[in-house]
C-alpha cells in the first residue's frame, strides 16, 4: 500500500494568502520595532556557541546592565517572553512555605500571585483599586519578615506606576522583586540605586524589539538564596548562568534564539545611542501630549494623577462612543492599533501605548487626528 494511502492531499492553491498589514502599534504592546532591529534580523545565523556569537551575547548583557542601571553580573535575556521572566524570578527564589508579599492593582500583580503560589509560596496579596497606585508602606507592613516583596513597576492593565524606591529602603531582609515589562527603557528604572534584587522585563515594549525575550537581572544578594533545584529545568538559573556569564568555555544549556538576540542587541544600541535619559524624555513627551489633548476629545484620563505612565495612557471613553467599533475603525481606516480594557474595565477603558520606536510625536498627532474624526462621526 502506498504510504500516502488514506491521507488526503491538499493543493497549495487552497491556502489563503497571508496579508502583511503595516500597523502603527499604539496598544499595550508590542510596539513598532526600531529600524535597526528589523535590519538585525537579516544577519546570518550563527551557532549559540560560535566564537563570534559569544562576544555579541556578552555585549548585549552589558547593554542591558546600562539600561537597568545595574552592575549585576547575572543580567541577561531569558529565551522566552516576559511571562517566562516572571516565572524564572519566582521559581528560582521561592522555597515551599516562604512568605511572599505581592502588590496587586491590576492583572499582572494578580498573575504574580498565581506564579508564586504554584512555586509553593504563602502569598499575602496587598490589593489596591484598579487605576490607583499601591502605597509602598502597605507592602512593607503586610508581614514582619517576608522572604520576598514583589510589585509591578508599570501595571500594563491600568497605566499606573507604582513606587519602587521606598520598598528598597524599607525591605529589611526580604528580596525585592519587580516586574519592569512596561517600564524598562521608557521611564527611570534604577535597579541598584533602588536596591532591587530581582527584576524582569520584555523586549516588545519600550525597548523597541519584537516579543520573544525577557531581560532579567539578579543581584548577588539574591543569588545567595538561589533555589538549588527549582521546579523548572528550562528556567534553572543555576545552569543558565554557566552559559550567559563568565570567561572561557560556556556550558550548553539550551539553544539560544540567535536572531532575537541580534535584534535585542540592536534595539539596546538604538536606545543607548540616543541616550537613556533622552529615551525617557521622548516617552514622556508623547505621554504629556496625549494627557493634554485626549480630554479635549472627551477621553478622560483614568489612572491616578501623579502615577500615570507616559508610555501607556489609560482613558475612559466619551459618552456614546463604542469600544469595539471605535478600535475597529481606528484599525481599518487609519491602520492604528490601540488596546481595550481588561477585567473590570473591559469595554470601558482604552490603553494607548507610546513605546519604543512608536513613541514619536508624529504618531501621537496622527492618533489624535484620527480620534477627532471618529468622535465627530459618532463612532
What domains appear along the chain, each with residue ranges and CATH number? 24-31+276-377 (3.90.1150.10), 35-273 (3.40.640.10)
- Tell me how far apart the alpha carbons of residues 210 and 29 are, in angstroms, rounded to a whole number: 9
Q: List all residues 6 or more positions away from 112 whose beta carbon is below 8 Å from its beta carbon.
A: 86, 90, 102, 104, 150, 152, 179
* Banded model confidence at residue 12, pLDDT cuts 50, 70, 90: low
Would you say 177 and 197 are in contact if contact means Cβ atoms under 8 Å apart?
Answer: yes
Q: Beta strand pairing status for 24-25 and 99-104?
A: unpaired
Residue 260: which residues within 8 A CB-CB, separation 6 or more?
77, 79, 203, 209, 210, 212, 213
Average pLDDT estimate for 303-321? 97
Contact indicator for 25, 204 with CB cutoff of 8 Å: no
Q: What are phi and psi of 239, to 5 degrees?
A: -90, -40
- Measured distance CA(1)–CA(238) in Å, rounded: 52
**Confidence band for 9, pLDDT divided at 50, 70 and 90:** low
Q: Number of C-alpha atoms within 13 angstroms, CB side, residue 289?
A: 19
Confidence class for position 7, pLDDT limits 50, 70, 90: low
Under 8 Å between Cβ of 122 and 152? no
247 pLDDT higher than 80: no
Nine-digit cell string for 363: 504618531
- Digit-coded pLDDT (tens) for 271-285: 999 999 999 999 999
User: For residue 347, with 0-12 CB atoms within 10 Å meaning exposed, 13-18 middle and 19 or more buried, which class applies?
Assistant: exposed
Q: What is the pLDDT of residues 326-360, one digit of tens each?
A: 999 999 999 999 999 999 999 999 999 999 999 99
Measured distance CA(376)–CA(298) in Å, rounded:
11
Q: What is the pTM of this model?
A: 0.94
Give the Å distances, CA to CA, from 138 to 159, 232, 233, 331, 334: 20, 31, 35, 41, 44
pLDDT higher than 60, residue 1: no
Question: Residue 25 belongs to what H/E stretch?
Answer: strand 24-25
DSSP for 85-103 reads: HHHHHHHTTPPTT-EEEEE
* 259, three cell numbers: 536572531
Q: pLDDT by residue (tens digit) across 198-226?
A: 999 999 999 999 999 999 999 999 999 99
Give the pLDDT of residue 17.
78
pLDDT in tens, 63-92: 999 999 999 999 999 999 999 999 999 999
138 Ramachandran zone, left/alpha/beta (phi>0; psi -120 to 50): alpha
How are beta strands 175-179 and 300-301 bridged, if at all?
unpaired
Q: What is the pLDDT of residue 377?
A: 84
Amino acid at each position: 500500500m502506498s504510504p500516502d494511502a488514506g491521507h488526503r492531499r491538499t493543493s497549495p492553491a487552497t491556502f489563503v494568502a497571508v496579508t502583511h498589514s503595516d500597523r502603527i502599534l499604539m496598544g499595550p504592546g508590542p510596539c513598532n520595532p526600531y529600524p535597526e532591529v528589523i535590519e538585525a534580523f537579516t544577519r546570518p545565523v550563527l551557532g549559540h556557541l560560535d566564537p563570534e556569537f559569544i562576544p555579541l551575547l556578552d555585549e548585549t548583557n552589558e547593554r542591558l546592565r546600562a539600561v537597568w542601571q545595574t552592575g549585576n553580573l547575572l543580567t541577561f535575556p531569558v529565551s522566552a517572553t516576559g511571562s517566562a521572566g516572571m516565572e524564572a524570578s519566582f521559581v528560582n527564589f521561592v522555597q515551599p512555605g516562604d512568605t511572599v508579599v505581592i502588590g496587586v492593582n491590576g492583572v499582572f500583580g494578580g498573575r504574580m500571585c498565581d506564579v508564586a503560589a504554584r512555586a509553593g509560596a504563602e502569598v499575602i496579596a496587598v490589593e489596591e483599586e484598579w487605576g490607583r497606585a499601591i502605597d509602598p508602606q502597605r507592602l512593607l507592613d503586610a508581614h514582619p519578615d517576608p522572604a520576598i516583596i514583589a510589585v509591578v513597576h508599570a501595571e500594563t492593565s491600568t497605566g499606573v506606576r507604582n513606587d519602587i524606591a521606598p520598598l528598597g529602603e524599607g525591605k529589611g531582609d526580604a528580596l525585592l522583586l519587580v516586574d519592569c515589562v512596561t517600564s524598562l527603557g521608557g521611564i527611570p528604572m534604577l535597579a541598584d540605586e533602588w536596591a532591587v534584587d530581582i527584576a524582569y522585563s520584555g523586549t516588545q515594549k519600550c525597548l523597541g524589539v519584537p516579543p520573544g525575550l525577557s531581560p532579567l537581572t539578579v543581584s548577588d544578594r539574591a543569588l545567595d538564596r538561589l533555589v538549588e533545584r527549582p521546579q523548572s529545568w528550562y528556567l534553572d538559573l543555576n545552569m543558565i548562568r554557566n552559559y550567559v556569564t563568565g570567561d572561557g568555555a560556556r556550558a550548553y544549556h539550551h539553544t539560544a534564539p540567535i536572531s532575537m538576540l541580534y535584534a535585542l542587541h540592536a534595539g539596546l544600541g538604538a536606545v543607548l545611542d540616543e541616550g537613556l535619559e533622552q529615551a525617557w524624555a521622548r516617552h514622556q513627551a508623547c505621554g504629556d501630549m496625549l494627557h493634554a489633548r485626549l480630554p479635549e476629545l472627551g477621553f478622560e484620563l483614568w489612572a491616578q494623577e501623579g502615577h500615570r505612565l507616559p508610555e501607556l495612557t489609560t482613558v475612559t471613553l466619551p459618552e456614546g462612543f463604542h469600544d469595539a467599533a471605535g478600535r475597529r475603525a481606528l484599525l481599518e481606516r487609519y491602520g492604528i492599533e490601540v488596546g481595550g480594557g481588561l477585567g473590570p474595565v473591559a469595554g470601558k477603558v482604552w490603553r494607548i501605548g507610546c513605546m519604543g520606536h512608536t513613541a514619536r510625536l508624529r504618531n501621537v498627532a496622527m492618533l489624535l487626528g484620527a480620534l477627532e474624526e471618529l468622535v465627530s462621526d459618532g463612532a
